[in-house]
A and B are shown apart, each in its own frame.
Chain A
Amino acid sequence: MFSNLKLFAGACILTLPLARISAQTYTCRSATSAQALAMQDYMVRLVTGSDSASVATRTAYQLPSLAASKVSVVTNTNTCKSAGTAYEKALNPSGTPAVSRSMVVIQIGTTRYGILDPNEKNGEYEVNMITDNKFVVLAKFSS
């Protein structure tokens, strides 16, 4: 009985961290949320803009020049999960416990994503990321 208790306690110790890690989720905010609309609007301005500031920013963020119709808010569960994983990985050092996030994911043409967790702050700034279509982070900016 005593040895069984010891075994049970050891199992708890081993399984608790695993449970915490597996509990995190990455979901996408709705296409009509204020944060999603703001991010979509900004991505549209960057990929369609011809003024010097937009062009310089587009270049810095490695974004293509596109029509506005090619920019859309993503709500697909799998894409959101992949985007969240990439965001988490880029944000934190290896081994940092992941946290659940409610993301804004913007698809930009067929080659780029814009990702944001509005709850993640760098001081008073939001932390935005641009990835390629394999969720490799290309640029990060705070707004």
Chain B
Amino acid sequence: MSFKKPVFNFGRVAVTILLVSCQREQVTGVDVPRKAPPMAHRDLSGGSFPIPIQATNAEATGGGEIGFIPTGIILPANSRYVLSVSGTVQVSAASVPCEFNSFGYVGEYGPNGINDGGFHQLEVSVALQGPLSTSIVTHPTNKGTPGPTSIYTDTLSSFGGGEILVARGGIAGGTNCGQAGVSYPAYNLSSSQIVSVVLTYVPPPPPMTIGASTRYAGVGDTVSYGAGVAPPGGSLSISRWRWVPDTGYSAPPGAIEKLSDAQCGTQTACNHTPLVPGTMWVIGAVNGNPDSASVHVNVVPCATPIATRDTILDHPLVRKLLRQAWDSSHYTDPITSNRRERGGYVWRLPDGTYQVNIYTASGDTPCTTAMTPPSPFPGVPIAAFHVHPFKHLEILPSNCPIQNRNPALSYGYDALKYGGPSGDDFGRLKGDNDYFNSLIGAPPFQGYVMDDKNIYRFPPTTTTSNWKTNVVTYPRNDAVHGCVRP
């Protein structure tokens, strides 16, 4: 791979982009963020309740009064609603009349009742019975227009939430009617009054959350999940856990899912041993509202040890594109001049996800690749990678560039001398680091080199003085774990 000069030259880059744009190809993989499913629909209908009526306003009935009674209409905390009271009460002929016929209130009355010198007879009142207290939320007096057809409406907030209660005052039958043995007369009552509530806003309940002990697991590692509510305080109930494997992956031969999602039942914690990448879902309710949460876990067949876990190499997308780079190098082609060095970059996008690009150009050879990303860059580079499509001692083809090369000569590829990448491989990485740092201020990133035996990593801390000892080697055919990278 040719060394990229770290010094940025606008003119040169502009020309390079212009020239390369016609020849460059790009293979891209994007880490698609997983979205939670839409929240279950919340019922905004409210409800209605017919206000009962007593048969008469006899003294024993308190003048036909209805004390506060529950309506069954439940208001969520901090919701907003339109409260309406409609319909009328009819006061009709007395079953026990006043002998002086001085009652004078036979008629039909709306929610405001009868304003009789400050006494609001047959007036409807509404209260909200919350978890800790009951409060009168409306008193129609001075709100609606008194009269037989008036309708009371108001827009209110429920604050702590609770149940709507409703009451209606009675109506006195009169006094000293002269009826023997009867203190009060009793007039007949009937009602078509209804209290109704239409919810106009219900705040979302605190969402269900899920956490995982790791986002990068090896096959058979136990991943611990916990469900919760954020912010805390909501009532959480779990109905089930569900593990959904990613498509396109298969478990290594003989691998067994020791802990399944099914055994987690309705617990708020779950342990699971994934075999392939996938998503763990927890399904339940918060404050009675159906909800769910999910977390994606990357599972790689050859995860690096936990203590030195390589979150880039262990990322399925990175491995997939590394594999594509390797496959597209034609490393098995017996005509070695047909092979091509392939490489690219792992980018971190603004939303935190990864994108991996392989950049090819018509001038690439079996021993070099330009690896030129187009501008603007898709994100911040966090790793560079390229492949060496040769086996140890395999003869390098004549189209590997060498100045003043004798076409009759041939050179063997030697992977033993440096035990992997050479000083020039590190030189290229350092040049890349300087290049992106000068352009976009990218911090030092690591480099991967892959041949048919191993994947080698230069950590970001590598320097020109420690590059050889700093290289980390991951065998591609891992005899210890019986699995293959990438």
* Chain B positions within 8 Å of A141 at CB level: 393, 411-414, 417
Q: Are B368 and A124 in contact (CB under 8 A)?
A: yes
Chain A residue at smallest Cβ distance from B408? A93
* Chain A positions within 8 Å of B3 at CB level: 124
Give the contacts of A36-72 with B (CB-CB under 8 A): 38-39, 42, 45-46, 53-54, 56-57, 60
A91 interfacial by beta-carbon distance below 8 Å: yes
Give the contacts of B350-399 with A (CB-CB under 8 A): 365-368, 392-393, 396
Q: Would you give the shortest CB distance from B129 to chain A, in whole angstroms?
A: 79
Contact of B404 among A38, A93, A126 (CB under 8 A): A93
Contact of A38 among B408, B409, B412, B418 (CB under 8 A): B418
Q: Are A140 and B410 in contact (CB under 8 A)?
A: yes
Q: Are B402 and A122 in contact (CB under 8 A)?
A: yes
- What is the CA–CA distance of A19 and B417 in the complex, to the nearest angstrom? 38
Q: Mark B403-442, 1 if CB is under 8 A from A, else 0.
A: 1111111111111111000111100100000000000000
* Chain A positions within 8 Å of B468 at CB level: 38
Give the contacts of A86-132 with B (CB-CB under 8 A): 90-93, 96, 120-128
Interface size, B (range): 35 or more
- What is the CA–CA distance of A96 and B406 in the complex, to the nearest angstrom? 10
A9 interfacial by beta-carbon distance below 8 Å: no
Q: Are B409 and A90 in contact (CB under 8 A)?
A: yes
- What is the CA–CA distance of A39 and B393 in the complex, to the nearest angstrom? 17
Q: Are B424 and A126 in contact (CB under 8 A)?
A: yes
Chain B contact residues: helix, strand, loop or mixed: loop
Contact of A53 among B1, B366, B392, B401 (CB under 8 A): B392
Q: Are B2 and A123 in contact (CB under 8 A)?
A: yes
Contact of B422 among A91, A92, A143 (CB under 8 A): A143
Contact of A57 among B1, B392, B423 (CB under 8 A): B392
Given contacts A57-B392, A92-B406, contact A126 B412 (CB under 8 A): no
* Chain B positions within 8 Å of A92 at CB level: 404-406
A21 interfacial by beta-carbon distance below 8 Å: no
Q: Are A124 and B406 in contact (CB under 8 A)?
A: no
- What is the CA–CA distance of A124 and B409 in the complex, to the nearest angstrom? 17
* Chain B positions within 8 Å of A93 at CB level: 404, 406-408
B223 interfacial by beta-carbon distance below 8 Å: no
Contact of B405 among A54, A91, A139 (CB under 8 A): A91
Contact of A123 among B392, B400, B415 (CB under 8 A): B400
- What is the CA–CA distance of A91 and B425 in the complex, to the nearest angstrom? 22
Q: Would you give the shortest CB distance from B397 to chain A, in whole angstroms?
A: 10
Contact of B1 among A39, A42, A56, A124 (CB under 8 A): A124
Given contacts A125-B396, A126-B424, A142-B411, contact A42 B404 (CB under 8 A): no
- What is the CA–CA distance of A93 and B413 in the complex, to the nearest angstrom? 21
Q: Would you give the shortest CB distance from B425 to chain A, in whole angstroms?
A: 6
Contact of B402 among A38, A42, A54, A127 (CB under 8 A): A127
Q: Would you give the shortest CB distance from B341 to chain A, in whole angstroms?
A: 8
Q: Are B392 and A142 in contact (CB under 8 A)?
A: no
Q: Are B406 and A139 in contact (CB under 8 A)?
A: no
Q: Would you give the shortest CB distance from B279 to chain A, in whole angstroms?
A: 41
- What is the CA–CA distance of A46 and B416 in the complex, to the nearest angstrom? 9
Q: Mark B201-237, 1 if CB is under 8 A from A, else 0.
A: 0000000000000000000000000000000000000
Q: Are B402 and A121 in contact (CB under 8 A)?
A: yes
- What is the CA–CA distance of A60 and B428 in the complex, to the nearest angstrom? 29
Contact of B424 among A56, A57, A121, A139 (CB under 8 A): A121
Q: Are A91 and B406 in contact (CB under 8 A)?
A: yes
* Chain A positions within 8 Å of B406 at CB level: 90-93
Chain B residue at smallest Cβ distance from A94? B406
* Chain B positions within 8 Å of A125 at CB level: 367, 396, 400, 411, 413, 422, 424
- What is the CA–CA distance of A11 and B422 in the complex, to the nearest angstrom? 47
Q: Are A142 and B401 in contact (CB under 8 A)?
A: no
Contact of A124 among B404, B411, B424 (CB under 8 A): B424
Q: Would you give the shortest CB distance from A32 to chain B, in whole angstroms?
A: 14
Chain A residue at smallest Cβ distance from B386? A124
Centre residue among B405, B412, B413, B414 by max chain A CB count within 10 A:
B414
* Chain B positions within 8 Å of A42 at CB level: 416-417
* Chain B positions within 8 Å of A91 at CB level: 402, 404-406, 409
* Chain B positions within 8 Å of A140 at CB level: 409-412
Given contacts A57-B392, A92-B406, contact A122 B412 (CB under 8 A): no
- What is the CA–CA distance of A122 and B411 in the complex, to the nearest angstrom? 9
Q: Are A143 and B393 in contact (CB under 8 A)?
A: no
* Chain B positions within 8 Å of A120 at CB level: 402-403
Q: Would you give the shortest CB distance from B58 to chain A, in whole angstroms?
A: 106
Chain A residue at smallest Cβ distance from B393? A60
Q: Are B401 and A122 in contact (CB under 8 A)?
A: yes
Q: Would you give the shortest CB distance from A37 to chain B, in whole angstroms?
A: 10
* Chain B positions within 8 Å of A54 at CB level: 416
Q: Mark A27-40, 1 if CB is under 8 A from B, else 0.
A: 00000000000110
* Chain A positions within 8 Å of B366 at CB level: 123
- What is the CA–CA distance of A90 and B404 in the complex, to the nearest angstrom? 11
* Chain B positions within 8 Å of A90 at CB level: 406, 409
Q: Are B414 and A128 in contact (CB under 8 A)?
A: yes
Centre residue among A92, A126, A140, A142 by max chain B CB count within 10 A:
A142
Q: Are A38 and B417 in contact (CB under 8 A)?
A: yes
User: Could you write out 6 A-B pairs with CB less than 8 Å apart?
Assistant: A38-B468, A92-B406, A120-B402, A121-B402, A121-B403, A123-B1
Could you tell me which B residues sit within 8 Å of A by CB distance? 1-3, 341, 365-368, 392-393, 396, 400-418, 422-425, 428, 468
Interchain residue pairs A-B with the least CB separation, the first 8? A123-B367, A143-B417, A122-B402, A141-B414, A143-B414, A141-B412, A124-B1, A42-B417
